[in-house]
Amino acid sequence: MKILFVCYANICRSALAEVVLKKKLQEKGLTDIEVESAGVHNYAGAPRDYMMSSYAHKAGYELGGTARYVTQPMIDSADLIICMEHTHVVMIQRLLAYERWSRIYTFNEICFGEQTGLIDPSGDTGYVYHYVLEKIQEGCAILAWKLEKMVNHGEIFFQRK
């Protein structure tokens, strides 16, 4: 299974979600799930957001590397595409065949059952960064639990009607 996190620039939210979910999956011994992230706007090569990197580091996560721009092969090969906001969903839908739209969710939808987007902390206060970090940690813990149930027990959590 391959999971793709998507946000605006891939310097903050989606990059953090990738790192956090990888760690949660590793802790559960789920090594056959590939996780990556990218942005819908081309900031490829841009450094990670300094504030988010700092908050992530304090929480035990390293946001290494640089921003990646979402590509057609990334989208086509993903079994699950998790966008940080509904606008990202719409942009991904434009690149993916209609019959495959069922694999696209927002982060808050798939993790918490909420129809809201996850706020972009870029350029905001430290409180907002801290909030987003906690929300991503909590959401990825839930997502890892769902993936573990799916892999080990055949339970299905990611299927739209």
Tens-place pLDDT, residues 90-125 = 999 999 999 999 999 999 999 999 999 999 999 888
Q: What is the pTM of this model?
A: 0.95
Residue 157 has pLDDT above 80, yes or no: no
Closest CA to 104 of 134, 128, 70, 132: 70
Q: What's the CATH class of domain 2-153?
A: alpha beta
The H or E element that residue 36 is part of is strand 34-39
Domain ranges in the chain are 2-153
Closest CA to 26 of 140, 138, 110, 131: 140
Question: Residues 136, 16: contact at Cβ < 8 Å?
Answer: yes
Q: Taking residues 130-156, what's their average pLDDT? A: 92
What span, in angstroms and rounded, lies between the C-alpha atoms of 14 and 102?
20
What span, in angstroms and rounded, lies between the C-alpha atoms of 150 and 51?
34
Residue 161 has pLDDT above 60, yes or no: no
Tens-place pLDDT, residues 19-70 = 999 999 999 999 999 999 999 999 999 999 999 999 999 999 999 899 999 9
Residue 38 DSSP symbol? E
2-7 and 104-106 strand pairing? unpaired
**The predicted structure's pLDDT at residue 160:** 56
Q: Which residues of 13-23 are buried (b: 16+ CB within 10 A; e: fewer)?
A: bbbbbbbbbbb
- pLDDT class of 159 with cuts at 50, 70, 90: low
Sole residue written with tokens 């069922």: 102
